[in-house]
């Protein structure tokens, strides 16, 4: 019996762990990134770093933002007085790898979940730094400002459509030919970029809904798939491990 083929749309640098999980679960991984991440030492990141001593909190919404600061400002964490909040298990692992002391991790790995975690913490007049991609949603900074905080947003990396779209085009063709059994999407942009490259959005959405098991990492990514009328599921816990375990459970 042939192994189920699972398409991984994560950026290359984040795809290896997913590939290993797929193989451990008895599948064959097809790595087809629909998103590129580019670390950037932007003017806004320089501003955030210069305000290091004014920060009451710094929020890492992804491991990439930590990697960016570590590349450009490896001494940033030295004598850092700000408290640290992170979203997600993987982000927490990377933060600890670089010896950041984590003060807050929401149970729900979303911006909404983090805002809920701040409900019993008075952040009035606090200065909160958020290094991230500027393509992220405004839910978190707006929610913090509504709680009375001053937010410093910094572009730590760019989220881009890959310059070479050949892998995406091959993925779309394999989807059309029913050569894919399942596919995972770990962010709204992994969905958006796939449909940007597609020449027939409806045909692609139909194939993803009917012939392939489409799994989102959580409700935010699921909502983006819903926007394209793609039937999908997502796990109770928003991690790559959980989404792939759910995928294989459903395939069986």
pLDDT band for position 137 (cuts 50, 70, 90):
confident
Q: Hey, how many other C-beta atoms are within 10 angstroms of the C-beta on 110?
A: 19
Domain count, the chain: 2
Q: Among 65-69, 106-110, 127-131, which stretch is predicted with the lowest mean pLDDT?
A: 106-110
CB 112 within 8 A of CB 87: no
Last residue of a domain, one of 159, 176, 196: 159
CB 86 within 8 A of CB 108: no
Mean pLDDT of 117-144: 93
Co-location of 29 and 45 in the same domain:
no
Last residue of a domain, one of 135, 159, 183: 159
Distance, in Å, from the CA atom of 131 to the CA atom of 103, rounded to the nearest integer, reads 17
pTM, whole model, 2 decimals?
A: 0.87
Co-location of 155 and 180 in the same domain:
no
Mode of pairing for the β-strands spanning 28-31 and 36-39: unpaired
Mean pLDDT of 104-123: 92
What's the token pair of residue 40? 């950037």
Q: Residue 113 pLDDT > 80, yes or no?
A: yes
Co-location of 43 and 147 in the same domain:
yes
Co-location of 71 and 143 in the same domain:
yes
Q: Please report, for the domain that includes residue 193, its CATH number.
A: 3.40.50.10090
What is the reported pLDDT for 1?
58
Last residue of a domain, one of 159, 193, 217: 159
Distance, in Å, from the CA atom of 102 to the CA atom of 80, rounded to the nearest integer, reads 12
CB 51 within 8 A of CB 124: no
Co-location of 226 and 183 in the same domain:
yes
Co-location of 122 and 215 in the same domain:
no
Co-location of 151 and 53 in the same domain:
yes
Number of H helices and E strands in the chain, helices first, is 11, 10
Alpha helices, DSSP H, located in the chain: 12-24, 43-50, 63-72, 89-97, 111-117, 139-146, 166-176, 188-197, 201-210, 219-227, 240-251
Distance, in Å, from the CA atom of 158 to the CA atom of 68, rounded to the nearest integer, reads 11
Per the structure, the complete domain to which residue 21 belongs is given by 5-35+161-251
């Amino acid at each position: 019996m042939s192994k189920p083929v699972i398409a991984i749309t994560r950026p290359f640098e984040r795809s290896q762990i997913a590939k290993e999980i797929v193989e451990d679960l008895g599948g064959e991984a097809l790595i087809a990134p629909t998103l590129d991440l580019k670390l950037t030492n932007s003017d806004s990141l320089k501003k955030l770093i210069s305000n290091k001593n004014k920060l009451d909190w710094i929020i890492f919404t992804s491991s990439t933002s930590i990697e960016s600061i570590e590349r450009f400002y490896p001494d940033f964490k030295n004598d850092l007085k700000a408290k640290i909040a992170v979203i997600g298990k993987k982000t927490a692992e990377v933060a600890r790898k670089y010896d950041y002391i984590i003060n807050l991790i929401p149970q729900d790995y979303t911006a909404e979940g983090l805002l809920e975690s701040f409900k019993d913490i008075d952040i009035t007049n606090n200065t909160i730094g958020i290094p991230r991609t500027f393509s992220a949603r405004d839910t978190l900074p707006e929610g913090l400002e509504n709680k009375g905080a001053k937010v410093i947003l910094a572009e730590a990396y760019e989220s881009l459509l890959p310059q070479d779209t050949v892998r995406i085009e091959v993925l779309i063709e394999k989807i059309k030919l029913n050569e894919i059994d399942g596919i995972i999407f770990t962010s709204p942009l992994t969905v958006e970029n796939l449909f940007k490259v597609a020449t027939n959005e409806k045909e692609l959405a139909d194939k993803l809904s009917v012939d392939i098991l489409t799994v989102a990492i959580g409700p935010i990514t699921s909502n983006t798939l819903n926007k394209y009328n793609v039937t999908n599921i997502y796990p109770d816990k928003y991690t790559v491990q959980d989404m792939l375990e759910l995928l294989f459970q459903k395939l069986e």
